[in-house]
Amino acid sequence: MASAIQRPLQRALTLIGVGLIGSSLSGCGTAWKQRIGLDQAPASDPLPEVSDGPRSAPLQPGKNIIVEAVDRVGPSVVRIDTVKRVVNPLGNLFGGRAPIQQQAGQGSGFITRSDGLIFTNAHVVEGADQVSVTLPDGRSFSGRVLGSDPLTDIAVVRVVADKLPVAPLGNSNNLKPGEWAIAIGNPLGLNNTVTAGIISAVDRTNAIGEGQRVPYIQTDAAVNPGNSGGPLINAAGQVIGINTAIKKAPGAGLSFAIPINLAKRIAQQIISTGQASHPFIGVRLQSLTPQLAKEINAAANSNLCTVPELNGVVVIEVVENSPAAEGGIRPCDLIREVNGTKVQDPSQVQLAVDRGRVGQAMPIIVERDGESLELMVKPEELPRQQ
């Protein structure tokens, strides 16, 4: 703070400064005034035009579609906590009883019926002795696993409640890359986390290993442990998939979701019978390429098998006494169509068979020695792993 003696001096200096500036301005002419913006500069050559596009009206602020979609589905997304009791095999080394240890797990799910039906992943509730379901509004319920299907990673949980918020289910059959993909869940224990991206690809049958029965939806939405079982939703606020797997890659991660139409079909079977049904015909397949065909045909003298040199699906083994064997399928047959669906690789054959029904004959069109044949194959139930 300036002293009382300094203040008059400051005021005098200020007045002197103003006077100096004023006198300088009055004596420097027009050029100086132009440099400091007090006078207009003479007109110069016009600047070149860099755009001749039409002027458009500015975008008007509106509602955010992601916010609207999350508002619609978010209240129905739940946290699932599990407890699994395991026996420590080292606990009785010194003559004592083997101690029981508890393993805690966590995932996500979403309510599909107001009376307490919940979809989640099978791996979220696998082997769980206790299941707890917590809603975003803080309510918590004890859950019961109605059934699960490890092949598709779908599980259905039930809680005793009514008038619960429900997630609208969409249609996953016509999804296109580039559409919005919004994930809601509880990654790393962070409840009600929302991430967004786009659908990167559809029908990824080789996303997390060979022989999959799921045509996964691939997205670039950030998904982490704890998101499993949570919904993937579209811009309309409808569930189009169940987030189930991630694949780490340099620079970014890729996430995969089970299409909701497949999840609904498996859930209906679980609710009706307690388990999912998977048709089985009993063939081993190989993707055929022109090069592979040349190699097969070169060995024709030894195996009496020739195939056309093109891309397709070739049968390399038929299980004895299987539905395929009884239906007339042979090794070296090219499978062209299954139950009305054209196929080009083994995964497409697998998915087409899986959409059939156990005990209901399905037409399979094969090419054999240049001739097209329609064979009727009646799938059996896939043997269950014990």
**Rg of the Cα trace of the chain?**
34
pLDDT in tens, 106-154: 999 999 999 999 999 999 999 999 999 999 999 999 999 999 999 999 9
Residue 355 · residue 278 · CB < 8 Å:
no
- Domain architecture of the chain: domains with CATH: 74-85+101-159 (2.40.10.10), 180-273 (2.40.10.10), 279-381 (2.30.42.10)
Q: Which residues contact 332 (CB under 8 A, 6 or more apart)?
A: 296, 303, 305, 306, 307, 314, 315, 316, 368
- Total length of the chain: 386
Nearest to 158 by CA among 193, 125, 189: 125
> Is 153 in the active site?
yes
From the CB of residue 170, how many other CB atoms can be counted at a distance below 10 Å? 21
Q: Which long-range contacts (CB under 8 A, 24 or more apart) does 168-171 make?
A: 168/72, 168/73, 168/237, 168/238, 168/239, 169/112, 169/238, 169/239, 169/260, 169/264, 170/233, 170/234, 170/236, 170/238, 170/239, 170/240, 170/260, 171/238, 171/240, 171/260, 171/261
Catalytic residue among 172, 228, 255, 347: 228
Output the six-digit token pair for 92: 């009785």
**Rounded CA separation 9/382 (Å):** 100
Catalytic residue among 81, 153, 333, 354: 153
pLDDT in tens, 280-301: 999 999 888 888 888 877 775 5
Q: Which residues contact 245 (CB under 8 A, 6 or more apart)?
A: 153, 207, 208, 216, 228, 255, 256
From the CB of residue 152, how many other CB atoms can be counted at a distance below 10 Å? 23
Nearest to 318 by CA among 243, 237, 253, 377: 377
pTM recorded for the entire structure: 0.77
How would you write the pLDDT of the chain (386 residues) with one tens digit per residue?
444 434 443 443 333 344 434 444 444 455 545 554 455 555 556 766 665 656 656 656 667 889 999 999 999 999 999 998 877 666 555 555 557 778 889 999 999 999 999 999 999 999 999 999 999 999 999 999 999 999 999 999 999 999 999 999 999 999 999 999 999 999 888 888 999 999 999 988 877 765 568 999 999 998 888 899 999 999 999 999 999 988 876 656 789 999 999 999 999 999 999 899 899 999 999 888 888 888 877 775 555 677 788 888 999 899 999 999 999 999 989 999 999 999 988 988 998 998 888 999 999 999 988 889 999 999 999 887 64
